[in-house]
Structure 1
Amino acid sequence: MMQCTQAQASAALAGAGVISLRDYQEGLVMEIRDSLKAGRRRVLAYLPTGGGKTRVATAITQMTLSKSKGRVVVLANRKQLVHQFAAALRAAGLDVGVLQGENTHGLHRRVIVASVDTVHARGCIFDDMALFIIDEAHACAGSEKYRTLLFRYSRVPCIGLSATPFARGLGKPYPELADRLLFEDLIVGATVQSLVDAGHLTDLEIYAPSSPDMTGAKTSRTAEGEQDYRQADIEEAADRPELVGDILRHWFKLAGGVKTICFASSIAHSQHIVEQFRAAGVSAEHLDCYMDDETRADILGRFERGDFTVLSNVSLLSEGFDVPDTSCMILARPTKSLTRFLQMVGRVLRPAPGKTRALLLDHSGSVERIGHPFDDLPLELDDGNANKAGSRKEERKKSEPKPCPSCKFVRPAGVHECPKCGFAPQRQSDVEVADGELVKIDRKARKPATPDVKQHVYSQLLHVARHRGYKPGWAANQYRARFGVWPRGLRDVEAAPSAELLGWLKSQAIRFAKAREKAQEGRQHG
């Protein structure tokens, strides 16, 4: 594909009377144009949250109208996104109509911003189409409404915009498209790290103080084709008084009263978090999808003005929320979905005057589970093959960031000394030990161990015994204390011990010491 130089791109955009764009935005616009000119009909454009997707779409709309007599239809899947997109296009001087429920007006205009739900419900037919633009286009793969529209207008050029183009099936062929792909090209405008380095996004500090126990939680497939925890299991694990209290304690310690958005596991959980903040004298509000438009607009407006400090919700604000001076995010909703994770984190990365960093307080375990938000992403269109999708997600997890055992600051992979507090754990086969509260391990609640799990535990015990110089038989005795049987038939191979096993050994040592102390007291008084 022939590419324009940056100077040629700038000249072309200026000649079309397009709004001013950053260099990477100009490059993205021209790459989209080149891809469509090469014969592709549906192109997906990636920019991170805060990278300016709406601005890119505005420039493309202006260029299309200047060179064609047809109309441009912008599609969105949420009412708030429809209103925001229409406002952005009008601010650029475009005459815009809206097709969204009772707010429908101006359908004779050359630019229409439409809700896909309204289009589907009314069976709308568009004429004189020059271009479709789809906001949050990762939703197309799992949405029959979007796919039906793309099938019907398969010959009309379509540009999808997304900060999370990982949905399963975005690059899948369909017979309704003459076996062509749902999206035929993925164009990368910039990466999160490159925008942070250029100052277009704010750098991020992450702390992971505590997280709910998701052991045994079941998963189900999301609309994007990813596996995520079932809502019922999330609510049960996360909405606990001790975890809510820990959120408050660490927010006071680390956030220092800055404007904060919180993602909770459920409406009840969100309300409990707000109650705790208010009881501590912090102004906080809860927002959910059951509130009417006027109430939601009032809460969002007051938060934007700074009338209160903490805004809590479940997932309502994961898309389309744009309050740049929000400096802290509390993630209290466990997730395994890369899409949901990045959408939530992206809410605090926009720069603002006086904002030198963004802060993520991860009370969900998601950073350890998924990886750092700035890690390289699987930026290729998924063809719907489950094995391929799984391998791409595993490839991304290579960074495995870990919280500092002392201050809970999340260090990048491979960093030994914490850059925040200077804590440098002694290296003993990559095992980190720090003083802290012990977590009781309930053996009765543990599921029956498989042979592989038993072998892995025994291998870890052998490793600990050798490195600590324990007598022969120590590993077998510890194994028996854990499983109630001797390690017969297991191989004498070593494995580096996990934090969970070391915690269990520490609890065993404390239990033994207390029992010995009690026995001594008994002999003294006997």
Structure 2
Amino acid sequence: MPAQTLREYQRTGIRQILDAYKQGARSVLAVSPTGSGKTTLFAHLAAQLDAGGKRSLILAHRRELVEQASTRLREFDVRHGLILAGTPPSPGARVQVASVQTLTRRALPPADIVIPDEAHLSTAATWTRILEGYPHARILGVTATPWRLAGKPLAGAYDAVVVVATPRELREQRHLSDYVGFSYLAPDLSGVETVGGDYNEAQSAAAMSQSLIVDNIVEEWLKHSARLSTVVFAVTVEHSRQLVERFRSAGVSAEHLDGTTPLTQREGIMRRVASGQTRVLSNVGVCIEGLDIPRLKCCVLARPTKSLARAIQMMGRVRRPWREDGRKVDAEHPSVVARIHDHAFIIRQHGLPDQDRDYSLHAKREAPPSLSTCPQCLAMYDGARCPSCGTEKEPEPLGERVIQTVAEAEQYEFTSATEAAPDAEPARPDKPPVKVRWDTLGRKVEGVLIRKWQEDAPWGGKQWHYLLRGPKRDYDVPGAAQLDKQMAKVAAGVLVWITYTHDTPLPDSKVRREFKVEVDDGEPEPQGECYCATTPRPPCGVCTP
């Protein structure tokens, strides 16, 4: 493959890498997003070095990555050897592609440059022992996520960093597909312990395996993404098989894959997914890195993680451009928009894939930006308009409640008492209330009960609704059997806290939602603004009968 077939950012990245070596760096870290062509970049560089008589060693931790590198080298007409279990060696080739696990049991080949693929793993003991065997070789680490799995930067492992491209840049250039992330039903993870920097596997698997969560994963997918080839990230093998069986029971072609799946079976699964014959691929630890199937356009996050690197790698699996009609993606023929179904609080915890991040070697972990969740379609975004359904984000006016002290300002999330000055005009509740969806275990809604009413329910019959006036907005709270029993005792004008606590299994695979209702029915303060922010006390004609 001639050099001119490289994209401009790849050519620029190679020049910057070579400049870093000229300026004295021995080890360089190249950062480029998932789906940006990292393998093409280092294969081109290895081809250039091979033409000049230099030796290269490419390291990868999984068979799929070794085979991808080998495929790309063949496209560059580079003779190379594979150091991989079950594969005959070619020690005379100047370019070698090695499985890390296999190379630890064999003699190290000579190399002028060592290229660790997925370099965020290169500080692990197995990789370090190999790299220590090349004290005079140059090192080129390549990754989309330049942080250790625990979130720490790679300072000390590399001398310089080259940011080849960012996800936002490549999306704008149409080298990555656009996407929308959605916040769907997720379990309460507050009680899950942390082990080795991430959620306890057994506990998170138990949380994600609840029938309510599993059913919602399939229901939301059937409702919104049934036409999209999909990769599901599960916690354990048992959890993944549970999801596959649930998809299959809904008539969906789904298969499971994990690290113990025999090679021939794994290759068959990948072929069926790539062709579209298998619509849903559920996996445990196999597809986080190295999965290169552009038709995958839905990612189901059913594996909670505290690792930023792991989160970005999972979401990046569906960002390769692809069109159903096979046309080349360009301005007139855009890629299918990818969907990310988040059932594990990953976007809320780590941010959206295109978020601007610090890729430096000494980067500090940044808090993700505050995201909005569309009340209509549950898309998560950081702009003024929902990218999925176009719903305008409603501004949150200051002064809905008179704040007298700094302490109260902090309680209600104002930055200062001045920001919510007492002479500010109280906003009237003239906008439609936010419709509450009980999609998250542990969700809590606070407000004064304004009124109750019944509406026709989608399943037939009537459903109670409760209008609560909170400190910032009104809520339309839908009723449920156990909630209605408790709310029947609550009078208008009473401050209420409603918490969705858990679900009780019922016969025929049904569940009953359980709620805790807390009330503050004490005497109102003798002066000041009424909680519902409409008129001064006493009396209030809205929330006081």
- TM-score w.r.t. length of structure 2: 0.72
Structure 1 residues 256-285: Cα deviation after superposition (integer angstroms, max 9, x where no partner): 321111111211111111111111111111
Q: Distance in 1 between matches of 2:58 and 2:233?
A: 28
| Residue number among 422, 426, 433 corresponding to 2:391 in the alignment | 422
Q: What is residue 126 of structure 1 aligned with on the other side?
A: 109
In the alignment, does 2:497 pair up with 1:515? no
Change (3 A) 1:171 1:364: closer
Q: Match for 2:160 among 173, 176, 185?
A: 185
Instruction: For structure 1, list consecutive stretches of 5 or more residues without a partner in the other structure.
Output: 1-13, 173-180, 222-226, 383-388, 444-456, 469-495, 518-526
Is structure 2 residue 315 aligned with structure 1 residue 345?
A: yes
What is the CA deviation profile of residues 129-162 of structure 1, one whole-angstrom value per residue up to 9, with x for unaligned ones?
Answer: 2211110011012x11211222221210111100
| Other structure's SS at 1:73 match | strand
Counterpart CA distance in 1 for 2:357 and 2:481 is 39
Q: Is the 8 A contact 1:219 1:229 kept in 2?
A: yes
1:59 matched to 2:44:
yes
Match of 2:16 in 1: 31
1:323 is aligned, of 270, 293, 313, to 293
Distance across 1 between alignment mates of 2:288 and 2:167: 17
Taking the aligned partners of 2:268 and 2:178, their CA distance within structure 1 comes to 30
CA distance in structure 1 between the aligned counterparts of 2:173 and 2:281, rounded to whole angstroms? 29
Tell me how far apart the structure 2 counterparts of residues 439 and 119 of structure 1 sit (CA, whole Å): 48
- What does residue 244 of structure 1 align with? 214
- Identity, in percent, stands at 30
Over residues 458-512 of structure 1, what are the superposed CA-to-partner deviations in whole Å (9 max), with x where a residue is unaligned? Answer: xx98xx68x99xxxxxxxxxxxxxxxxxxxxxxxxxxx9699x9989x9999665
Report the equivalent of 1:153. 134
Count residues with an aligned counterpart. 428
Name the residue aligned to 2:402: none
Distance between the aligned counterparts of 2:231 and 2:285, measured in 1? 11
Q: Secondary structure at the match of 2:434?
A: coil
AA paired with 2:489? A
Match of residue 41, structure 1, among 10, 13, 26: 26
Letter aligned with residue 515 of structure 1: K
Amino acid of the structure 2 residue aligned with 1:420:
C
The runs of at least 4 aligned residues of structure 1 exceeding 3 Å deviation read 168-172, 416-419, 423-433, 436-443, 496-499, 501-504, 506-513
How large is the Cα RMSD of the aligned pairs? 3.3
Residue number in structure 2 paired with 1:228: 198
Q: Distance in 1 between matches of 2:202 and 2:96?
A: 39
Q: Which residue of 1 aligns with 2:121?
A: 139
- Choose from 48, 61, 78 the match for 1:77: 61
Spell out the pairing of 1:359-438 with structure 2 (5 A cutoff). Answer: 359-382=339-362, 392-393=364-365, 395-397=366-368, 399-412=369-382, 414-415=383-384, 420=389, 422=391, 424=393, 427=396, 434-438=434-438
Structure 2 contact 435–477 (Cα < 8 Å) conserved: no
Structure 1's 513 and 292: CA in aligned 2 closer, same or farther, altered over 3 A? Answer: closer
Structure number with the higher strand fraction is 2
Matched, 1:269 2:252: no
Describe the SS at the equivalent of 2:3: coil
TM alignment of 1:264-343, pairs within 5 A: 264-343=234-313
Distance 1:60-1:147 versus aligned 2 partners, 3 A rule: same
SS at match of 1:359: strand
- Partner in structure 1 of residue 501 of structure 2: none
Alpha-carbon shift at residue 163 of structure 1 (Å): 0.4
Per the alignment, do residues 202 and 439 of structure 1 end up closer, same or farther by CA in structure 2, a change over 3 Å counting?
closer
Question: Match of 2:72?
Answer: 88
Residues 146 and 169 of structure 1: CA distance in aligned 2, closer, same or farther (over 3 Å): farther
Map Cα deviations across residues 420-473 of structure 1 (whole Å, 9 max, x no partner).
Answer: 152655736699963245479889xxxxxxxxxxxxx9xx98xx68x99xxxxx
TM-score, scaled relative to structure 1:
0.74
Is residue 2:176 matched to residue 1:201?
A: yes
Structure 2: unaligned runs, 5 residues or longer: 325-334, 399-411, 414-431, 451-469, 492-545
Distance 1:99 1:436, change over 3 A: same
Letter in 2 for 1:31: Q
Higher share in helix: 1
